[in-house]
């Protein structure tokens, strides 16, 4: 449960919440200079994160995941106890034996399915789901979750219908063919997806991003084309945004926090072929608090942010806490990156809440 705490001296009279330290169940950290630049934004408030494997080259083996994990740990400040939870990138050439190795590794917590061509660095993804059925059978046997980017990429399917068609063509048969497989439908964007997850909640969960909770597709075009609001899956109609807010704030255990924070240098976003991804990490938990406050559901934020994810993944809840204080601050217009800049979600605008360490 969320509990109010006495006001700190520096914020007397402001509303405060004390939360079990949350986790991010869908995060992009990239590598090299970008990794070093963005990692502190997540580690400041989150204890753990499921780290996406779509690097170049992709993280397809346990050995590659171990190396990537070491890069992440080496980039952390010495005082940080943040833990990356690694994933493998599923390809049609993934050997069944890699699944057993992943389970025994102790640090690989899921296998990520990208439809080939669906999003950033997904060209090595799956074209025919049945070609990976032996791998899915091994995952079912060993209890390793399948993490789905839930879109089809057929050019005849409207971009706003890709998620619904994926549920019909791919997800429904997979659930039928592998009744013991644990599945996360990542970054859901539609009312139909939320309803589907509710209907299969014993073995299917969903992450919900803060940008899909805050924005509908109008945000892509307000005052001109807004490339920093372009993501995949793309923002949807207002009725879908409202359905996602209802799902996230419901307290239902099948929904939990996954930012899909995806940093791209400004030069790559503001280009003739701007890449997909929204960088939300610098204010992620604060913006989720805004959503829950607007829905009069702050008492359910802890379940969504701190309890439901660990329960699904079979991990313990964190034992430390954070404070959220209703104290506004202004997000910078952009953030430093060697040779370029990063433009975060809510750039140049006010954020209503602040994340602080818990004094206890």
Q: Does 187 show up as a binding residue in the annotation?
A: yes
**Residues 6 or more apart in contact with residue 153 via CB below 8 angstroms:** 115, 116, 117, 118, 162
- In angstroms, how far apart are the furthest CA atoms of the chain? 60
204 is in an annotated binding site: no
Task: For residue 1, give both structure tokens.
Answer: 């449960």
Residue 36, number of CB atoms within 10 A of its CB: 18
State the pairing for strand pair 16-20/255-257.
unpaired
Comparing C-alpha atoms, which of 86, 85, 111 is closest to residue 98? 111
Q: Is 232 annotated as a binding residue?
A: yes
Contact between 256 and 262 (Cβ < 8 Å):
no
**112 marked as part of a ligand binding site:** yes
Taking only Cα atoms into account, the Rg of the chain, rounded to an integer number of angstroms, comes to: 19
What CA–CA distance (Å, rounded) separates 269 from 249? Answer: 31
Query: 276 a known binding residue?
Result: yes
Question: Is 260 labeled as catalytic in the residue annotation?
Answer: yes
The answer to whether 141 is annotated as binding is no
Handedness of CA 186, 191, 193, 199 (dihedral sign): positive
Q: Are 19 and 303 in contact (CB under 8 A)?
A: no
| Cα distances (Å, whole numbers) of residue 78 to 59, 73, 81, 170, 318 | 25, 9, 8, 43, 20
Q: Which of 31, 177, 260, 360 is catalytic?
A: 260
**26 marked as binding residue:** yes
**What DSSP line would sit under 153-221, residue for residue?**
--TTS-GGGHHHHHIIIIIHHHHHH-TT--EEE-S--SHHHHHHHHHTTTTEEEEE-HHHHH--GGGGT
CA 349 from chain centre, in angstroms, equals: 23
Phi (first) and psi of residue 82, to 5 degrees: -60, 140
Q: Is 27 annotated as a binding residue?
A: no
Closest CA to 125 of 108, 158, 148: 148
Asked if residue 321 belongs to a known ligand binding site, the reply is no
CA distance 93 to 174: 19
For residue 310, the Cα-to-chain-centroid distance in whole angstroms is: 14
- Residue 88 annotated as lining a ligand binding site: no
Known binding positions for substrate: 28-30, 54, 149, 232, 264, 276
Annotated binding residues for Zn(2+), written as ranges, equal: 26, 28, 112, 149, 187, 260
Annotated binding site: 26, 28-30, 54, 112, 149, 187, 232, 260, 264, 276
Provide the annotated active-site residues.
Answer: 260
């Amino acid at each position: 449960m969320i509990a109010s705490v006495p006001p700190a001296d520096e914020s007397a009279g402001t509303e405060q919440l004390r939360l079990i330290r949350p986790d991010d169940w869908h995060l992009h950290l990239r590598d090299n200079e970008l990794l070093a630049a963005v990692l502190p934004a997540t580690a400041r408030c989150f204890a753990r994160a499921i780290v996406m494997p779509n690097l170049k080259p992709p993280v397809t083996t346990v050995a590659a995941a171990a190396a990537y994990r070491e890069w992440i740990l080496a980039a952390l400040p010495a005082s940080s106890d943040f833990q990356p939870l690694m994933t493998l990138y599923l390809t049609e050439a993934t050997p069944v034996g890699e699944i057993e190795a992943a389970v025994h590794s102790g640090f690989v917590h899921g296998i990520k399915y990208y439809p080939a061509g669906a999003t950033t660095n997904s060209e090595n993804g799956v074209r025919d789901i049945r070609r990976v059925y032996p791998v899915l059978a091994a995952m079912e046997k060993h209890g390793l979750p399948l993490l789905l980017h839930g879109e089809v990429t057929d050019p005849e399917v409207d971009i706003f219908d890709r998620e619904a068609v994926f549920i019909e063509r791919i997800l429904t048969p997979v659930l039928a063919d592998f009744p013991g497989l644990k599945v996360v439908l990542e970054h859901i964007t539609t009312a139909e997806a939320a309803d589907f997850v509710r209907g299969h909640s014993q073995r299917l969960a969903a992450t919900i991003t803060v940008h899909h909770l805050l924005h509908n597709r109008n945000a892509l075009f307000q005052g001109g084309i807004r490339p920093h609001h372009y993501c995949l899956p793309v923002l949807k109609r207002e009725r879908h945004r409202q359905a996602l807010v209802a799902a996230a704030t419901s307290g239902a255990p099948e929904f939990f926090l996954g930012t899909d924070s995806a940093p791209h240098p400004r030069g790559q976003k503001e280009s003739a072929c701007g890449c997909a991804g929204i960088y939300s990490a610098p204010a992620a938990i604060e913006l989720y608090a805004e959503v829950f406050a607007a829905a009069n559901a702050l008492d359910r934020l802890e379940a969504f942010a701190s309890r439901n994810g660990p329960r699904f993944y079979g991990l313990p809840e964190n034992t430390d806490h954070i404070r959220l204080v209703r104290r506004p601050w202004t997000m910078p217009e952009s953030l430093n990156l060697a040779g370029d800049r990063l433009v975060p979600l809510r750039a140049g605008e006010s954020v209503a809440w602040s994340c602080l360490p818990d004094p206890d």
